[in-house]
Amino acid sequence: MVAERVVEWQSPGEYRRRPSLALEQRAGVELAELLASPVYYGLGVPRGDGRTVLLIPGFMGSDSYLTILAGWLRRAGYRPAHSGITLNAGSLRRQLQHLERRCEDLAERYGKITVIGHSLGGAFGRVLAVTRPDLIDEVITLGSPLVGDVREASHPMVRALGEMMFADHPRDEEDAMAQLASPLPDGVRLTSIYSREDAVVDYRACLDDDPRADCHEVRGTHVGLAWNAAVYRVLGRVLAS
């Protein structure tokens, strides 16, 4: 177990105290705790209504690490669907275009869908809900930066990697930021699940202040939000409400 501690790092105009990135090593412990928890087997969780839930991975991620969440959703009574993303990097515009086509395909077959996005995937989900409310009626984000400057909300090391791995025209990036900051359309719900122990994304950036948004705090790492037992309990309640 990594010792609890925080470190200071500089963001433009201020110093913020943040959990150390070393604490993210606890994500493996969170996975073990989930696998030992009754919630992993769907016990104590309201039975789902069979709706389609699209899962969107975070930065540098792929669908593979969300298979645990997909399996849980299936056991809980939902229809999980993967994004088809093999590496979440390259171009924001192209990724959003790909995800929009995926949403169109799923909505055509099953009706309006729910989106669950981890980290950057949740930010993508919110943008899609703003631009295509005809396809999406609910977005649930896990440790996703939703307010302010998404880049500045990330740990400097992650931000530097993102600047290398994403290459977009400045106008495309500005458009995506503007859509992320736009009010949620009528009929679209958003739930943000976050942790103050998140060492990758400043938890304050996860606190969406839109009146249609709800925020739920859990304990855990940024990476581990994808397989955190407390997160799954919240998901069970939110999806059933």
Report pLDDT for 168. 67
Residue with tokens 């389609």: 52
d(CA 130, CA 53): 17
Residue 145: how many CB atoms within 10 A of its CB? 27
d(CA 212, CA 196): 22
Residue 54: how many CB atoms within 10 A of its CB? 26
Mind listing the pLDDT tens digit for each residue in 21-55?
778 889 999 999 999 999 999 899 999 999 999 99
Q: Where are the beta strands (DSSP E) in the chain?
A: 6-11, 14-19, 52-56, 79-82, 113-118, 136-142, 189-195, 213-218
Q: Does a structural domain hold residue 221?
A: yes
Q: Does a structural domain hold residue 79?
A: yes
Q: Does a structural domain hold residue 68?
A: yes
pTM: 0.89
Domain residues for the domain of 166 are: 6-240
Report pLDDT for 12. 39
Which residues make Cβ contacts (< 8 Å) with residue 193, sequence separation at least 6? Answer: 140, 141, 142, 143, 215, 216, 217, 218, 225, 231, 234, 235
Dihedral sign, Cα of residue 102, residue 71, residue 133, residue 127 = negative
Mind listing the pLDDT tens digit for each residue in 161-195?
767 667 666 676 778 888 888 999 999 999 999 99
Q: Does a structural domain hold residue 90?
A: yes
Q: Does a structural domain hold residue 225?
A: yes
Which CATH number is 23's domain given?
A: 3.40.50.1820
By C-alpha distance, which of 91, 114, 63 is closest to 226? 63
Q: Does a structural domain hold residue 1?
A: no
Number of domains in the chain: 1
Mind listing the pLDDT tens digit for each residue in 213-241?
999 999 999 999 999 999 999 999 999 99
Phi-psi region of 111 (alpha: psi -120 to 50; beta: other; left: phi over 0): left
Q: Does a structural domain hold residue 12?
A: yes
**What's the pLDDT band for 18 if we cut at 50, 70, 90?**
low
Averaged pLDDT score across all residues of the chain: 88
Report pLDDT for 153. 83
By C-alpha distance, which of 115, 119, 117 is closest to 135? 115
